């Protein structure tokens, strides 16, 4: 289940975030195969050179873009990736820009404003500059579309913050890790597995980002902390 539109971005991002095709520079050949009577794309053919097929293709998994949450496509829990390498953080995140990033994403959610039934994802630089935003009925699809947009624009290395509506599942944390994005923020709650993997992979996970407040669950050390300096009292001279 998906929202029509940005099909190329969805396919590009899905293949990358599933580690099926992880080439940053060269895009795979994507060809529209079928359309519905209303003109919506229903089938796409993708050609990937054999030597560039990633390890994700070998995992026992059905590569289906789903709107639901959890480890939907996995045949077994044991097949989850076990990555020991943490993402590197070159610059800490200013907590004051988190609400600003959500404001930018919310203001650009045209589909949600019309229907009230779509999720959104957006990517930003470490300084809060918007790089890409996408909407979809499924938040995982929205994330894939954002990653695909960044890949087509050759801007994925600039993306340091991923902001999503809804809650955070393991799958979104995994996509964030494979995209190399060290900060992940959401409106709602994360799952316990999402928190555990974010801690393992070096991702600073923030949730309940509302009304200029948020809760950080992992790698809090990567968030700038500002100490209030109180004016000192001067003792009366005698």
Q: What amino acid positions are annotated as catalytic residues?
A: 69
The CA dihedral of 91, 221, 199, 136, to the nearest 10 degrees, is -50
Q: Which residues contact 183 (CB under 8 A, 6 or more apart)?
A: 93, 126, 160, 161, 162, 203, 204, 206, 222
Residue 134 pairs with which residues in a beta bridge? 121
Given strand 119-124, what is the order of strands in its sheet? 130-136, 119-124, 161-164, 183-186, 204-210, 213-216
Tokens of 5: 């539109």
């Amino acid at each position: 289940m998906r929202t029509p539109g940005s099909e190329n971005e969805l396919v590009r991002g899905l293949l990358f975030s599933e580690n099926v095709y992880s080439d940053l520079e060269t895009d795979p050949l994507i060809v529209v195969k079928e359309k519905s009577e209303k003109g919506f794309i229903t089938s796409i053919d993708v050609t990937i050179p054999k030597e560039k097929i990633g390890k994700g293709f070998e995992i026992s998994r059905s590569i289906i873009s789903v709107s639901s949450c959890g480890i939907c496509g996995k045949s077994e829990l044991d097949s989850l990736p076990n990555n020991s390498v943490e993402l590197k953080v070159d610059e800490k995140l200013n907590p004051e820009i988190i609400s600003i990033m959500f404001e930018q994403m919310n203001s650009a959610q045209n589909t949600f404003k019309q229907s009230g039934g779509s999720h959104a994802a957006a990517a930003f630089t470490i300084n809060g500059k918007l790089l890409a935003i996408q909407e979809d009925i499924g938040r995982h699809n929205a994330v894939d579309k954002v990653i695909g947009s960044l890949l087509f624009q050759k801007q994925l290395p600039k993306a340091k913050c991923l902001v999503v509506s809804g809650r955070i599942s393991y799958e979104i944390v995994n996509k964030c890790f494979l995209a190399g994005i060290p900060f992940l923020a959401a409106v709602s709650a994360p799952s316990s597995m999402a928190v555990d993997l974010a801690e393992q992979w070096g991702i600073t996970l923030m949730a309940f980002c509302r009304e200029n407040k948020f809760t950080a669950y992992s790698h809090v050390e990567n968030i700038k902390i500002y100490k209030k300096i109180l004016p000192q009292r001067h003792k009366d001279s005698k």
